[in-house]
Amino acid sequence: MPAQSRAQRKRQGARQQPQTRRTTASISTPFAEGDVASTGPTVRIETPPASVAARSNRPIRRTSTRPAPEPVDYSKDYLAARRDLRWIALWSVLLFVGMFALKLSGLV
């Protein structure tokens, strides 16, 4: 089965959402109005700044000391391609002239 389009996914998402909104009065809570759940005293935890924590977790990277590679010389490849293209052009012109001459002569 093909993957769904964006429009199909959007329509399906709209169908799955409930159409009526619930008010806060209709939601029941397990606590009475004066009851508040307590988890004990709150303790503040001091954290180091994000930049210090990030620097201490990262390993130190060494820089590469290798020299840059030499650029590749493609001049021989270009020369061979140019020669091949000349031969292709020459043969295509000769064949075209030959076909035209045969058409005018009435042999074909």
pLDDT number for residue 96: 98
Average pLDDT score, the chain: 78
pLDDT digits (tens, 9 = 90+) for 65-101: 888 899 999 999 999 999 999 999 999 999 999 999 9
Residue 102 belongs to some domain of the structure? yes
Residue 104 belongs to some domain of the structure? yes
Residue 103 belongs to some domain of the structure? yes
Residue 105 belongs to some domain of the structure? yes
Residue with the two structure tokens 């008010």: 23
The C-alpha atoms of residue 5 and residue 17 are separated, in whole angstroms, by 19
Compute CA 54 distance to the chain's CA centroid, rounded to the nearest angstrom: 27
User: In terms of residue numbers, what domain contains 107?
Assistant: 84-108
Query: How many domains are contained in the chain?
Result: 1
Residue 93 belongs to some domain of the structure? yes
Residue 67 belongs to some domain of the structure? no
Residue with the two structure tokens 């709150």: 42
Q: Sign of torsion, CA 91 95 98 100?
A: negative
Residue 22 belongs to some domain of the structure? no
Q: What is the pTM of this model?
A: 0.37
